Chains A and B, each alone.
Chain A
Amino acid sequence: MTHNLILRVIAKWMIPVILLFALYVQFHGDYSPGGGFQAGVIFTTAFLLHALAYGRDATMRIIPENTLKYLSCLGVLIYAGVGVTSMVRGGNFLDYSRLASTPISGQHIGIILIELGVGITVASVMLLIFFTFSRRVIDQ
């Protein structure tokens, strides 16, 4: 993995495109196919490509493992937090209609937020699993 010039240049061009596509799938999930889970795994593939082309340590400098651990919990917290917020506002757990003045806009806000939570958790857990697996390659 030292002189893969072509692989590295192509990866450098591909990674932003993949990340942009992941963000599109994440935030356009209301209108087109996709959603948090799909966006999360596409996001992860961009970082896997980076790790394959530039080595795991370079990727870990971009996203440290500890940050990933916090992010993976943060996603679930966002999701459950939306549910608790709707309870505080007088509805049932995860009743998004209570989040805004009208039920429709409340549903919009709730769905975007929980999809964001799903995306964050899925992306960080997948990367975390990859980092943990790849540590065994380096350590032995």
Chain B
Amino acid sequence: MSLLINLFLLGFLLIIAIAVMRIHNLMAMAMLFGLYSLLVSGLFVVLDAPDVAFTEAAVGTGISTVLMLVTLASLRNSHEARYPGRLKKGPLLLSLLMGAMLVYGTHDIARLGEPSAPVHQQVGKHYVEKGQQETGIPNLVTAVLASYRGFDTLGEVTVVLTAGLAVLMLLTRPRKPHIKMEARNDP
């Protein structure tokens, strides 16, 4: 059953990826990217990672699609992407090589849920065995993220705040930067 769902989701992922490449309308492209994220979040549910699925569904499908639509709405020109139809050999070769290397790399990844994998031998073992007892939190993911890895999460939140501040600084600057005006006044 899980295999069937996986094949279904991956098959549609492939179809959408090809459709994104073939399509010219940027609006449709944004919508397809949203669908892509929705399918990926479905895959995360199959992989028993509902936390990540939440985030992917909300950010990938919701917020980033809306941000792309807003960006498209602020474009003055048409919403068509046109490129010359010639097939370039170099980039194609490079992507095929990269893909082959990634597929080769998957052979070294431990099987899903393998107890003897290196990740489960180190500090993770302590979390699983003692986490409930030390924090009293039934959800181990929350216990690790918020308590054991509290510093990391603080850093992540700071990164989110910094990203917001950077967007504010970049997009809300006055039309004419001050530096230019001062330079013009100087002889």
Contact = CB atoms under 8 A, between A and B. Distances in A.
A7 to B, nearest CB: 14
A37 B62 contact: no
Contact of A125 (B50, B135, B160): B160
A53 to B, nearest CB: 12
A45 B58 contact: yes
B66 interface: yes
Interface in B128-187: 134-139, 141-143, 145-147, 150-151, 153-154, 156-158, 160-161, 163-164, 167-168, 171-172
Given A76-B161, A136-B74, 15 more contacts: A33-B141, A37-B156, A38-B55, A45-B58, A48-B62, A72-B164, A76-B158, A107-B147, A111-B137, A114-B146, A114-B154, A118-B157, A132-B167, A132-B168, A137-B73
Q: Give the interface centre of A52, A110, A118 by most chain B CB atoms within 10 Å.
A: A118
Interface of B: 50-51, 54-55, 58-59, 62-63, 66-67, 70-71, 73-74, 76, 134-139, 141-143, 145-147, 150-151, 153-154, 156-158, 160-161, 163-164, 167-168, 171-172
Given A34-B51, A76-B157, A80-B154, A108 B168 contact: no
A28 to B, nearest CB: 9
Interface string A45-58: 10010001000000
A35 B97 CA distance: 39
A114 B148 CA distance: 13
A101 interface: no
Nearest to A136: B74
Nearest to B76: A140
Nearest first, the 8 A-B pairs at minimum CB distance are A125-B164, A104-B136, A33-B50, A41-B58, A45-B62, A94-B150, A38-B54, A136-B74
A69 B172 CA distance: 13
Contacts of B146: 35, 110-111, 114-115
